[in-house]
Structure 1
Amino acid sequence: NLCHWFTVDDLHFLKRGGRISAATAVLGTMLSIKPVMHVDNEGHLIKVGTARGRNASLKALVDHMEETVLDLKDQVIFISHGDCLADAQKVADDVKSRFGVETVIINYVGPVIGAHSGPGTVALFFLGSER
């Protein structure tokens, strides 16, 4: 039941990967819309929400975590980022302050994920009641 929720900063990388259309990428960029996505139980990448602005998308990650997370006090939470350490630290601080989590490990996304999601990707990993 490893949950991994993430958001991206630039929609053009999702367009290049065939996840969204060119029109959606342009319009979403103009309106500063950021998708919040995760991988479902079948392994499909799905959009579960949208947020207006970067700060709202980072907060949405932690909000979704609150809905499904299990045994927070005993968990080690992982955050991966695509060259945006300050944003990853912001999510870590939010997780620590809201849930009292003691251990949060921050690291980079790998090159394959980074090529598909681009710089500005922030992913939050935790154990939850469902994927």
Structure 2
Amino acid sequence: MQKIAVITDSGCDLSQETIKENNIQVLPFRIIYSDREYLDKVTISEEQVYEDLSNGIIPTTSLPDLQYTENIIRKLKDEGYTHVVVVSVSSNLSGTFNSIQLLCEEHPELMYYFFDTKTLGFPVGAIALEVSKLIKEKASFEEIIDKLPNIKKSISGYVTFNTLEFLKKGGRIGRVAGTVGEMLHLKPIISSDDEGHLYPFCKVRGRKKSISKLKEILNSYLEGGKCRVWVLNGAALEEARAFFEEIKNKHNISEISFETIGSAMGVHTGPGAIGLCIKKEY
């Protein structure tokens, strides 16, 4: 008899309520300041990180804490789990995928499947939610593995920023490109490609145009059929709420939720990020 668990990392941006409801095990990224260190969603909240960012205090992020990860795996063994599906942030953006693999090798009693999502942020969480749903539906470990590639293909994410400052400081874009972008008031919409790298899906000038472009992107999906939609807010509550209210009744949206961009991604996007995660259901 298979007893299947799903593990992801805190870059998934799922709320604590959603994590608990869906029995998802989350490995917290480390949020590192010059004089202190925290575990994402465990010992520090998104609200505190965004407040620090707004005040010019910019931490870095690092791999999930090894001891915390070890404790989760031991807990799963103690609770009688036999199989584990690990849904990880893109291996081309983080060393998390490889570090979890290495640690799990120390616990061969469990059977693992490591799925590199080739993305980051809420799309990782959306994939983990689909795995959880399959587990609830009594799908076998083998069936879940078989379905994961198509689940990944059905889910996309797009995020725009209020400033390029944090991408520049985090080394995600060059200083020259970031400075020129700021001078031209460019607001890129970032997504991830098939290899799991971030890339500018498009660039527009000005905040209003960037949000309008997000609507256009959503409409292009909805023209094809029904979609599950998540609106993503990174300390841009008023604008993100207005965006949510404007799109929530669009034809072909099967379900829509309002979510927070978590600390691990927020360190690079900064306050003022707005995004979409879209799951095609056609």
Q: Distance in 1 between matches of 2:212 and 2:250?
A: 11
Q: Which amino acid aligns with 1:110?
A: G
In the alignment, structure 1 residue 52 sits paired with structure 2 residue 194: no
Q: Distance in 2 between matches of 1:24 and 1:126?
A: 29
Q: Which amino acid aligns with 1:124?
A: L
Tell me the TM-score normalised to structure 1 length: 0.83
Q: Distance in 2 between matches of 1:57 and 1:97?
A: 21
The residue matched to 2:253 in structure 1 has which SS? coil
Q: Deviations over 1:77-107 (max 9, x none)?
A: 1111111012212322332355463742112
Question: Runs of 4+ in structure 1 displaced over 4 angstroms?
Answer: none
> If you compute each CA radius of gyration, which structure gives the higher value, 1 or 2?
2
Contact 2:229-2:277 within 8 A present in 1 as well: yes
The residue matched to 1:68 in structure 2 has which SS? helix
In the alignment, structure 1 residue 17 sits paired with structure 2 residue 146: no
In the alignment, structure 1 residue 79 sits paired with structure 2 residue 231: yes
Could you tell me which runs of 5 or more consecutive residues in structure 1 were left unpaired when the two chains were aligned. none
The 5-angstrom pairing of residues 24-103 of structure 1 reads 24-69=177-222, 70-72=224-226, 75-96=227-248, 98-99=250-251, 101=253, 103=255
Q: Which amino acid aligns with 1:123?
A: G
Q: Which amino acid aligns with 1:37?
A: I
Q: Which amino acid aligns with 1:111?
A: S
In the alignment, structure 1 residue 116 sits paired with structure 2 residue 240: no
When structure 1 is superposed on structure 2, of 78-87 and 17-26 the one drifting more is: 17-26
Q: Which amino acid aligns with 2:174?
A: S
Q: Deviations over 1:20-47 (max 9, x none)?
A: 2212222221221100111122221111
Residues 95, 41 of structure 1: alpha-carbon distance in 2 compared, 3 angstrom cutoff = farther
Aligned residues between the structures: 127
In the alignment, structure 1 residue 126 sits paired with structure 2 residue 281: no
- What is the root-mean-square deviation in Å for CA atoms of aligned residues? 2.1
Contact 1:96-1:102 within 8 A present in 2 as well: no
RCO higher in structure (CA 8 A, sep ≥6): 1
